[in-house]
Amino acid sequence: KQEVTQIPAALSVPEGENLVLNCSFTDSAIYNLQWFRQDPGKGLTSLLLIQSSQREQTSGRLNASLDKSSGRSTLYIAASQPGDSATYLCAVRPLSGANNLFFGTGTRLTVIP
């Protein structure tokens, strides 16, 4: 069974700092990987989707990379802002059983003004 791990569980940084969130998965047979943002008491908002054939995706200040062979993905946030404070979740869609997304438990990010 696919296992997804996100370390650290929580992270605090001062405003303006660049930061990296990590996601690792145990089975490299994936179709794609998706990064989500979750605000307290809210649903999940999709940030970036990386197909298994891609190495990275960018959206504004966010850049997600994927190294499928090593089972790792990173989410890079440039020039962090207090509004970036949220929990960030990564999820992988396997090649087999592709109707399921396997989620990590998330990294709770706090950006201090």
Binding residues (CB under 8 A) for another protein: these are: 4, 31-32, 34, 36, 41-46, 49, 89, 91, 93, 98-106
| Paired tokens of 55 | 């190495």
* Cβ-based nearer residue to another protein, 68 or 93: 93
Question: Strand pairing of 86-94 and 72-77?
Answer: unpaired
* Cα 92-59-12 angle, rounded to 5 deg: 75
**Closest separation in Å from C-beta 51 to another protein:** 9
* Cβ-based nearer residue to another protein, 66 or 111: 66
**Closest separation in Å from C-beta 39 to another protein:** 10
Distance separating alpha carbons of residues 29 and 19, to the nearest angstrom: 28
How long a stretch of residues is the chain?
Answer: 113
**Closest separation in Å from C-beta 31 to another protein:** 5
